[in-house]
């Protein structure tokens, strides 16, 4: 049994939650526990968790929030309650390859100095949603269209050779140039998660990006170079809205930590540009434009306008 507590923030996920929890319980190296943080769900999510918790398998512990606090706080609350030496983070609609924990912890044993290890992911969606996803430009994130009867069984054969999987090591320099990994792709030592400050609720849509950057800054991250996380893309999924007052703080933090202290350096970092574009996709882009201009991201006014227009088009 892996010394890993898997944290699953749950909010109105009844349609997918059972598949997710069963994929966690079906690990060849089972987790020590699954901590489901029910973030004030109003659907049948709570009943699904209770039913599965009564079945044999790794224990499922439940934490219930009286009011919805958001995914970042739910993750942090689950980590604080966890008993495992290591932490895995899984979204309530994603799925794990059966050998994810086995291969991740095997890689960590080869890099005992590393406080976090990662795996790659692939985006999948139901074939029945293809037209709607492609109409909203999300179809480009999908590498596998599935029928949906048993998604894990359908996707597992596509992953590749597992007996001697390819690996790579990600550094802060890599993270500055691309996303490289997100928190749901990591298995991280619990104490390291806490030292790094956990997920940052004030970042909203980028709550886990700051954590990943801090982890990368504190040490290199070995990664199993195979897609062991099956990331669900769906038309009904919406990112958390970003309050306009948070944007200057978010952008300043990301620029100083990841992009460099001067506009010319920040502008050269594709990650910074990606984050700016991502923020522009939320509502209320005018206030964010002012925040970006004040921060001086190294973009011309014409580039800012283009980014904001592109963001607005992608949400229609």
Q: What is the mean pLDDT of the chain?
A: 82
- Say yes or no: 112 and 218 in one domain: yes
- Say yes or no: 164 and 187 in one domain: yes
- Say yes or no: 218 and 252 in one domain: no
Q: Would you give the end-to-end CA distance of the chain in angstroms?
A: 46
CA angle 314, 230, 224 (to 5 degrees): 115
Domain that holds residue 208: 2-232
Q: Which residues contact 303 (CB under 8 A, 6 or more apart)?
A: none
Domain count, the chain: 2
Does this model's pTM top 0.85? My answer is no
- Say yes or no: 165 and 305 in one domain: no
Q: What is the CATH number of the domain that holds 115?
A: 3.90.550.10
- Say yes or no: 190 and 266 in one domain: no
What does the pLDDT look like over 63-80, one tens digit per residue?
Answer: 999 999 999 999 999 999
Q: Band of the pLDDT at 155, cuts 50, 70, 90?
A: very high
Tell whether 238 is covered by a domain. no
179 vs 75 pLDDT, higher one: 75
- Say yes or no: 16 and 37 in one domain: yes
- Say yes or no: 175 and 302 in one domain: no
Given a cut of 90, whether residue 56 has pLDDT beyond it is: yes
Q: Band of the pLDDT at 239, cuts 50, 70, 90?
A: very low
Given a cut of 70, whether residue 29 has pLDDT beyond it is: yes
pLDDT in the model for residue 67: 95
**Nearest to 264, CA basis, from 213, 301, 291, 300:** 300
254 vs 214 pLDDT, higher one: 214
263 vs 233 pLDDT, higher one: 233
244 vs 279 pLDDT, higher one: 279
- Say yes or no: 85 and 182 in one domain: yes
Average pLDDT over every residue of 134-155: 84
Tell whether 14 is covered by a domain. yes
Please say which residue of 232, 263, 288 terminates a domain.
Answer: 232
pLDDT in the model for residue 172: 82
d(CA 226, CA 161): 9
d(CA 125, CA 123): 7
Given a cut of 80, whether residue 206 has pLDDT beyond it is: no
Q: Band of the pLDDT at 153, cuts 50, 70, 90?
A: very high
- Say yes or no: 286 and 172 in one domain: no
User: CA dihedral in degrees (224, 186, 158, 34; nearest 10)?
Assistant: 130
- Say yes or no: 188 and 248 in one domain: no
- Say yes or no: 68 and 206 in one domain: yes
- Say yes or no: 272 and 217 in one domain: no
Tell whether 239 is covered by a domain. no
274 vs 47 pLDDT, higher one: 47
Average pLDDT over every residue of 31-55: 97
Please say which residue of 211, 232, 253 terminates a domain.
Answer: 232
């Amino acid at each position: 049994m892996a010394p890993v507590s898997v944290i699953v923030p749950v909010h109105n996920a009844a349609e997918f939650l059972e598949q997710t929890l069963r994929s966690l319980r079906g690990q060849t190296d089972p987790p020590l526990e699954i901590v489901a943080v029910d973030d004030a769900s109003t659907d049948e999510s709570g009943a699904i968790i209770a039913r599965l918790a009564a079945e044999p398998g790794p224990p499922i512990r439940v934490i219930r929030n009286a009011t919805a606090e958001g995914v970042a706080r739910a993750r942090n609350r689950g980590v604080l309650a966890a008993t495992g030496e290591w932490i895995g983070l899984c979204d309530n609609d994603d799925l794990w390859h059966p050998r994810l924990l086995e291969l991740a912890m095997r890689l960590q044993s080869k890099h005992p100095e590393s406080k976090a290890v990662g795996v790659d992911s692939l985006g999948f969606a139901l074939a029945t949603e293809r037209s709607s996803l492609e109409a909203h430009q999300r179809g480009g994130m999908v590498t596998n269209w599935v029928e949906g009867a048993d998604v894990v069984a359908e996707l597992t054969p596509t992953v590749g050779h597992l007996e001697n999987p390819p690996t790579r090591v990600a550094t802060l320099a890599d993270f500055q140039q691309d996303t490289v990994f997100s928190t749901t792709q990591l298995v991280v030592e619990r104490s390291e998660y806490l030292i790094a400050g956990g997920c940052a609720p004030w970042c909203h849509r980028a709550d886990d990006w700051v954590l990943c950057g801090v982890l990368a800054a504190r040490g290199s991250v070995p990664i199993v170079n195979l897609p062991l996380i099956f990331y669900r893309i769906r038309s009904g999924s919406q990112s958390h809205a970003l309050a306009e007052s948070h944007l200057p703080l978010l952008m300043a933090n990301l620029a100083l930590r990841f992009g460099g202290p001067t506009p010319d350096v920040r502008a050269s970092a594709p990650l910074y540009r990606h984050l700016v574009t991502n923020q522009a996709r939320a509502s209320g882009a005018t206030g964010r434009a002012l925040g970006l201009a004040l921060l001086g991201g190294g973009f011309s006014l014409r580039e800012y306008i283009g980014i904001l227009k592109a963001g607005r088009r992608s949400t229609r």
